[in-house]
Chains A and B, each alone.
Chain A
Amino acid sequence: MINRLGHFINQNRGFVGAVLMFTVLFVSYQMLHPRGFSTAVLIQNSNESVAIAFVAMAQTIPVLIGGLDLSVGAVMTLANCIASVVVNGTPGQMLLGMVFTLACGTMFGLMNGLIVVYGRIQPIIATLATGAIAIGLALIIRPSPGGNIDGDLNWAVTNAVFDFAETYGLADDGNAAWLQPFANIPVPLIILLVVGLGVWLPFKRTVTGRTIYAIGSSEGAAYMSGLPIARAKIAAFTLAGFFASCGGLYLAVQTSSGNADVTQAGAYTLNSIAAVVLGGTSLLGGIGGAVGSLIGAMILRVISFYFRILSIDPLLQPLIEGVVLLTAVSLGALRTLRVKNTLELFR
């Protein structure tokens, strides 16, 4: 058992490091916070982490095949704008609207995949271009910020399980005895874990999922082994589109509006790359996973939470954020100390 644990740690150094870093940061944050470890703080924290966590998970999969998706932020914005138009009306209509939003994002990801595989254009530059297209579409759908998403829905999914049950009159308005152990868990956290892990973990175990890792390690070897390369690449970008649109949909429900903000889209894309790296995924491909990126995204968020409880000059906050990010990614340099043959450093 201990042997297997040691094996796991050895094989997932980046991931284990990220989990440790997150735990230390998060626990000390909660201890410093005057109302630490309370449901309210937890709800607030998880609400602010969902969108970036989904976008980071979206980014992971193209990174695993050794590519990069510069359109994730834009697809998230597109989904955000679509959702702000279609998610309203009766519960049935809202559900249909959500499905439609996710379908649009997934289709956009599929388009990315088709361009990369059959157009044979480098992912980074292809998605740079499709990202512009996504932003353009988002601007057409919502030229100015706005939208009206059902207030009940907003309340239900941005609070604890109890409030969710109470809003929709489930489980005796949330007072049923069996619900009590879960009553204080934030709904956004559940959405993130259920959708994120529910899609990623089973997918990772399929042939397509394993092929994604194989392509990242050595595309030539994957091809010679007869793995379905084209299918895996298309699946990677499609799944990225799906996760990005999950983030956009949640953002729409959370803010009750859609906003085609170019700057915000760019910031989400760049932060997603940072989160992927912090989560222990190699930008060269083949190593890592979406769960690590989820943790990486949370690390990014926790760092910014600290500014609320520590009295730091607001003008210094961006600097501190930048230095912490740079230091965190520079920890990857420790790898160079373990290299025995200098040649291994060069590609």
Chain B
Amino acid sequence: MNFFERISPENKPILIALLFVGVIVMAGTAYTLSTQGTAPMLSPPYLLQQLQIGSFLGICAAGMMIVILLGHIDLSIPWTLTAAAMMATTVGGYWAIPTGLAVGLIVGLFNGFGVAYLRIPSMIFTLGVDSVMRGLMVAHTGGFAPQTEATPLMRVLAAEKFLGIPVAIFVWAFISVIVAIILTRTGFGRSIYATGAKERASYLSGIRTRAVVIGAFVCSGLCAAAAGVLLAGYSNNAYQGMGNAYLLPSIAAVVLGGTHILGGRGRYLGTLVGVILIVFLNSVLSIMQMPEAYRQIIYGCVIIGMLLVYGRGQRVTS
């Protein structure tokens, strides 16, 4: 029995993705060694800086994963993130971060209500919520980047360093631990897996599936809001469309990490590896000064290639 057959199907994607991260780093190092004679990719400060930039995506992906585990999807992340950032900088002071998170909470509750009680497919309901949030923010800011600035605390959380490690990484790690505990050690977490696998069966076995769906969307909204608050702290202010770059990569990260897009299967560790994979892929491509066009093509090919290795579904035969 060889090594690959012994690891469980849940861990296989994680291992392969991790191997691929190694391949990416090696390729990037080989490139810089041959062109500049240095290996910046292997230096700890560079890796930490990449992880700092990746923490925003990582936090979004954590929330997205909880929703995807249910077999749903949250397309409202871009403008939830932006709205949280804008409201946080507008309010300012001690209430900045609570206000930002409150935006995420409200959006999450609303999304959950629409999906759980109105039974509108999440794909379209969250899309509608996203455009409503965009409308609210355009009305609020007049379509310009708001002049308000991030509070000192937001800046510390996003841009400062503690013990030589960016604080943003600690925030990401903190949220990761919470999400991992929720998913593996709490009843809510087990209900998420059960509801994602078969909602009807979960309902019949006494799980309050509607509450579970609402809870999951609240988690996703809170994560997006946290990412927005951090991102505003990182760039010192909020701006229009700041969340647009996080939607599709966070879905890709979750799926590359082995979480099934139809729900019910996946480990949080996988999402973490998926995020690191995407962040490193991006950084290698920028070291190579790859034009945007080829970057998109490579990005697409990597997703397809990885999924062909371990993401293949079963044929439906009955």
Q: Are B135 and A322 in contact (CB under 8 A)?
A: yes
Whole-angstrom distance between the Cβ of B275 and the nearest chain A Cβ: 16
Report the contact-size class of chain A (Cβ under 8 Å from the partner). 35 or more
Kindly state whether residue B132 has any CB partner on chain A within 8 Å.
Answer: yes
The residue of chain B having its C-beta at the shortest distance from the C-beta of A119 within the complex is: B308
How long is the Cα–Cα vector from A130 to B302 in the complex, in angstroms? 10
- Interface-located stretch among B4-12, B183-191, B309-317: B309-317
Q: Which residues of A contact B143 (CB under 8 A)?
A: 315
The answer for the CA separation of A119 and B125 in the assembled complex, in Å, is: 30
**CB contact between A130 and one of B134, B248, B298, B304 (< 8 Å): that residue:** B304
CB distance from A138 to the nearest CB of B (A): 8
Q: Which residue of chain B lies nearest to A316 when distances are taken between CB atoms in the complex?
A: B139
List 11 other contacts, CB 8 Å, given A129-B301, A345-B119.
A121-B304, A129-B252, A129-B307, A133-B297, A133-B301, A273-B127, A319-B136, A326-B132, A332-B119, A343-B203, A347-B199
- Asked whether any CB of chain A lies closer than 8 Å to the CB of B296, the reply is yes
Whether, in the assembled complex, A35 has its beta carbon less than 8 Å from a beta carbon of chain B, the answer is no
A336 engages B132 (CB within 8 Å)? no
Which of A17-25, A177-185, A192-200, A217-225 lies at the interface with chain B? A217-225
Pairs A-B, 4 closest by C-beta atoms: A319-B135, A136-B296, A139-B293, A136-B297
Within the complex, the shortest CB–CB distance from B161 to chain A, in Å, comes to: 33
Q: Which residues of B contact A143 (CB under 8 A)?
A: 293
User: SS class of chain B's interface: helix, strand, loop or mixed?
Assistant: helix
Q: Does B120 lie at the interface of the complex (its beta carbon under 8 Å from any beta carbon of A)? A: yes
Determine which of A119, A126, A346 lies in contact with B209 in the assembled complex, contact meaning CB atoms within 8 Å: A346
Cβ–Cβ contact B251 & A274, under 8 A: no
Residues of B within 8 A of A120 (CB): 312-315
- Per-position binary interface string of chain A over residues 58-79, scored 1 when its CB falls under 8 Å from any chain B CB and 0 otherwise: 0000000000100000000000
* B304 x A126 contact (CB < 8 A): yes
* Distance, CA A181 to CA B179, complexed state (A): 66
By beta carbon, the residue of chain B nearest A132 is B300
Kindly report which residue of chain B lies nearest to residue A315, judged by CB atoms.
B139
- Within A202-256, which residues are at the interface with B (CB < 8 Å)? 219-220, 223-224, 229
Given contacts A130-B304, A133-B297, A135-B296, contact A124 B261 (CB under 8 A): yes
- Known contacts A122-B262, A347-B200; decide if A333 and B119 are in contact (CB<8 Å): yes
B304 in complex: contacting residue of A129, A270, A319, A345, CB < 8 Å:
A129
Instruction: Say whether B131 contacts A336, CB under 8 Å.
Output: no
A119 to B251, CA, bound (A): 19
A113 to chain B, nearest CB (A): 14
Say yes or no for B142: interface residue by CB 8 A criterion. yes
Contact residues of B between 47 and 88, Cβ < 8 Å to A: 71, 75
